[in-house]
Structure 1
């Protein structure tokens, strides 16, 4: 039985392959659709609305316009950090940290 973290990693991997056209890469527009469909709250709750575009257009070891699983995971990590920054500010405003 997988841990919660293991289930999350498995879900990310299967979700990538569900959206990937050739099973190795996502086109950039499909990465955006994946993020909008699977994580709408992450994209809506940004302090810097351009943060998502900066993260998704960052340096890539694969051809421009494509994303492999490693790039998806880097994008998710960047979005998680950005959302955590928002969450910390929100919690401070509520006096919970």
Structure 2
């Protein structure tokens, strides 16, 4: 397996660890995403309004949850920089 597929596998494993605790195992709710950010990145937006804005930015299709593709965009966009809310 190539390094890129190993990396994608790790992203999938982390996503799956948090997805589905509140519903669909193929998506992250706002609460699940907050838990993922706290555990994996050391923090989440400190204020609810900031988390709401951040979540809305990630929820590209506006369905109220973050799917794996939307989560991967978060990871890719922030691969070379710190998240502003940390």
Task: Give 1:33's aligned residue.
Answer: 35
User: TM-score, with normalisation over the residues of structure 2?
Assistant: 0.64
Shift of residue 55 of structure 1? 4.8
Structure 1 residues 19 and 33: CA distance shift in structure 2, 3 A: same
User: If each structure's helix is expressed as a fraction of its own residues, which one has the higher value?
Assistant: 1
- Tell whether 2:43 aligns with 1:68: no
Task: Give 1:57's aligned residue.
Answer: 56
Q: Is there any run of 5+ residues in structure 1 with no aligned partner, and where?
A: 84-97
Over the aligned positions, Cα root-mean-square deviation in angstroms equals: 2.9
Q: CA–CA distance in 2 between the matches of 1:33 and 1:16?
A: 11
Q: Is there any run of 5+ residues in structure 2 with no aligned partner, and where?
A: none
Count of matched residue positions in the alignment of Structure 1 and Structure 2: 75
User: TM-score, with normalisation over the residues of structure 1?
Assistant: 0.58
